[in-house]
Structure 1
Amino acid sequence: MKQIRIGDVTIDAVIEREGPWRRPQDFFPAYDDAVFKHHLKTMEPEVFDAASGLMVITYQTFVVRTPRNTILVDTCTGENKDHPPPFDFPGKERWRSELFALGVTFEQIDYVFCTHLHIDHTGWNTTLRDGRWVPTFPNAKYIFHKREYAAWEEEYAKGSNPPGKVFRDNCLPIVEAGQALLADDDYALDDLITLSPTPGHSPCHCCVNIFSRGQRAVVAGDLMHHVIQCREPDWSARPDWDPKQSAVSRRKFFAEVADTGTLVLPVHFPRPSGGRGEGAGARGGFRVQAARN
């Protein structure tokens, strides 16, 4: 993704992993082959690898630089976490290298926003040091939705926070270090950065809004994993916490941003990573025009 400017704010993508990844029929319980092939004809070519039959899925962090702060939104899977398949892919050094190539060091991060607390959105939150997980970004405040945190704290206490020990390794050390800010639905960092609740994929998934000089971008986390969910909002992903609520959140979001010029940046869309959308008729869908410039 080329750097994007929203008024006085710049947005860059730091990629951990990209390429063909999952079969849509495995990932979406509502998958219909004829419907998918119908939409595929008018989708951007980079979203599906026909040779392998796999969706192209990217794991990335968005680096948001405002006149006041340097912010990360979601932190991929991290390193030294011994993740089980399919999150055991190699090449984690890429993420660090791309961040540093932007001229950003760990010490320069002011805030880390997590749209939700899943394995592939919290990994670089912490670093293994002397056998302990500690915050990777020593000067940052980490923004977690308070009810999202509470839900995963409860799941962890029951021993049911798969895969692995995501809460223990990626989230709890942030709170113990005093660097967490547990936020409500209406949290606003300032007039440039706010949250919007979009629950369903996780208990209290949220989007991160970026406003500047009359323009808006939204880092949409896992509100949608693939562009097919824009065309078919009811195709909730298999990992969703509440599939029905996930679909409701997508429809509400699309209705709000369609035809407004809002730049939508889902974390798992391949480069150019997102675009601006328009309404797509009675089915409640959403067509994304890729942001190539």
Structure 2
Amino acid sequence: MENGIKVGTSSANITEVILVLGKRLVDSQLTEESLSRVKTLVQELKTRTSSSYVLIFCGGRLEGQLISEAEAMFQAFVTHWPEWANYLPQTQVLIESRSTTTVENIANASSELINSGLCQSRQHVNVRMCSNDYHIQRIFDIERLMPEQGLLNRLTERARQAGLLLTVPLDVSQHITVPYPYQTQDGEAFLLIEKLTYYRIYLEGLESGVFNRSLEQVRTEPMRVTLEALQQLKAHPLLRHELPVLERFEQIIQQTDASANYADGALLDEYNQRLLDLNRRFDPEGQKVSA
């Protein structure tokens, strides 16, 4: 290898954390999407000439799976870069396997840093995320539109409580973004369905009462993104038999207008369950695993 971290480089000056975010496994194996994150990460790390970072694979073990997302990604990392330990101290690779959601991934990662002894109290560290482009973009969109529901504030606050001062760049280009691998009709449908998440997150914040500003102001953009996606889904050839479901999403949006100061828990539950069902049925990776 011509480029890369030199053997014996000091690991005392940690300045960066790379969070590799997991995705649901299929039959205890990585899918093409999650594997694409690992492959892009490997290419990124091979170009580095400093080992002043900590690598954290994030993702727990869901019911029915034999291994956690974090462990599966680490195994793929080792497979695609078998000589990694010659370039990165093994103590600077952490596996965060307790999480089942991105929220938990990010919240638990800061505790791992302190517990590992790699970062000291009151130390300033930059954070980069590694995930597919649509996933990272959604994280930043939510941070911009509904910071009360954002993940990044929770990360920095949890780290601050643990004694670590994290900085997360708010520019997507500063993170390791991986192109979504499915440029197909079902891939297009999946990405549109993912956009329905924006209004779900609004409803969750509404029910928990975290918004202390005008609900009309908070609701406008998540609603616009969601309704736009619903219109495109109605015209999508793969969703022609799902019109009643798509119209039900629109009805729930109408029933939760900004004149209410709370969300009906039953409506939130229904919205979330219908979204989960669509996501699972139209995700191109539903029954696929990586080679």
Q: Which has the higher helix share?
A: 2
Q: Which has the higher strand share?
A: 1
Please say whether Structure 1 and Structure 2 have the same fold, judged by a TM-score greater than 0.5: no
TM-score range, shorter chain: 0.3 to 0.5
- Bigger Rg over Cα: 2
- Output the TM-score relative to the length of structure 2: 0.33
- Output the TM-score relative to the length of structure 1: 0.33
